[in-house]
Amino acid sequence: MFRRGEAEDRQEDRPIETKEVRMSDGSSSEVTVIGQGARLEGSVVSAGSLRIDGQVKGKITADGDVSLSSQSQVEADINATNVTVGGKFKGNVNAKVRAELSKGGRVDGNITSKTLVVSEGAIFNGQSLMDQPPGQASVGASGATSGMSTSEPAKTEPTKSEEAAKAR
């Protein structure tokens, strides 16, 4: 059999511990992992957070955070508190708080969140709707690629006082 400590040294024999998965504090500390090599088609519902290393096609709903690793390939609609994309993603993201595209991540679809972070080296093809709490001005951004915004500056009409100053 095994000698004491021998199994502890072998990475593949031990389960992934929650502290190894970087997720923000949510209502639950439970993390569901869809491992590399796994393929899942349908609806995924998690009461806690979710980390995807494999392939998912369908719909993803989590009360906590959803993290797509660099190996992941996901074609789905995601509803979660925070969403981090490090792999290939096609679909729509609805993050209650924050959506992040990590370096090497690719999103082909729309993102709705209060905060959007697009790291250098990430690719975002789609539209972003930035929710703001009531009483604050809303800020919107259209699609960005490799961290570059493609939105145009707002055009305004000159005021009467500006026209009078030009006429002088």
Q: Out of 43-47, 68-72, 137-141, which region has the weakest mean confidence (pLDDT)?
A: 137-141
- Where along the chain do its domains lie? 14-167
Residue 155 has pLDDT above 50, yes or no: no
Residue 85: count other Cβ atoms within 10 Å of its Cβ. 30
Write down the mean pLDDT value for the chain: 76
**Which residue in 115, 108, 147 sits closest to 129, CA to CA?**
115
Residue 19 has pLDDT above 60, yes or no: no
CA-CA distances (angstroms) from residue 41 to 15, 22, 123, 150? Answer: 24, 25, 25, 34
CA-CA distances (angstroms) from residue 119 to 34, 98, 112, 129? Answer: 24, 13, 17, 18
Read off the pTM.
0.64
DSSP 9: G
Which residue did the predictor score with more confidence, 118 or 3? Answer: 118
Q: Out of 2-6, 8-12, 82-86, 151-155, which region has the weakest mean confidence (pLDDT)?
A: 151-155
pLDDT for res 132: 57
pLDDT for res 11: 46
Quickly tell me which residue has 């002088």 as its tokens: 168
